[in-house]
Amino acid sequence: MLHPPSPLPALDASGWLAAARRIPSPNCDARPDGMAIELVVVHNISLPPGVFVGDAVIELFTNRLDWDAHPYYQGIRGIKVSAHFLIRRDGSLIQFVPCGLRAWHAGVSSWRERERCNDFSIGIELEGDDETPFTDAQYVSLIPLLYALKQAYPIQAVVGHSDIAPGRKTDPGACFDWLRLQESNLTAAR
């Protein structure tokens, strides 16, 4: 079993990670009173699908996407979504929502018979898709982030979007290396 990297990235009292580039998203709101953060949900995203360059994901999460820039965008026109974190292919880490707030990443979802996973989870998007392996640089950023989140919050599990929205979502997909997380003791109770 691997040990946590040292030093761990630091989160401030609001849940902003000092090591992340901060690009605030308006697509967030308050968590229900007294709601503990117990779950991390791993996603993948690319816009348009399969394209891993450009800032379309950033523009989507900040409501600045040009809906007419690509035909695919017509099918998602007007949606308002976000995640707490995005890890780009080069491993760079962007934070859109402080962990203390609810990001809009999970949609209709359920974990251990609890609905509305956004209420008690943190969403991490990996730039990618279901068919393309993620980069080593992405895991090098993801694993310390997960350790920092587990240190700061009573995280019980790290799951995929497909685990909380089966039949509706498939991400992070078959190419995500869950074994890397298991070897780091990061997927207990998945």
Concatenating the DSSP letter of every residue in the chain gives: -PPPPSSPPPB-TT--BTTSEE---S-EEEPPTT----EEEEEEE-SSTT--SSSHHHHHHTT---TTSSGGGGGGTT-----SEEE-TT--EEE-S-TTEEES-S-S-EETTEE-GGGGEEEEEEE--TTSPPPHHHHHHHHHHHHHHHHHS---EEEEHHHHSTTT--TT-TTS-HHHHHHTT--TT-
Separation of alpha carbons 142 and 88, rounded Å: 10
**125 part of the active site:** yes
The catalytically annotated residue of 125, 127, 131, 183 is 125
Residues with active-site annotation: 125
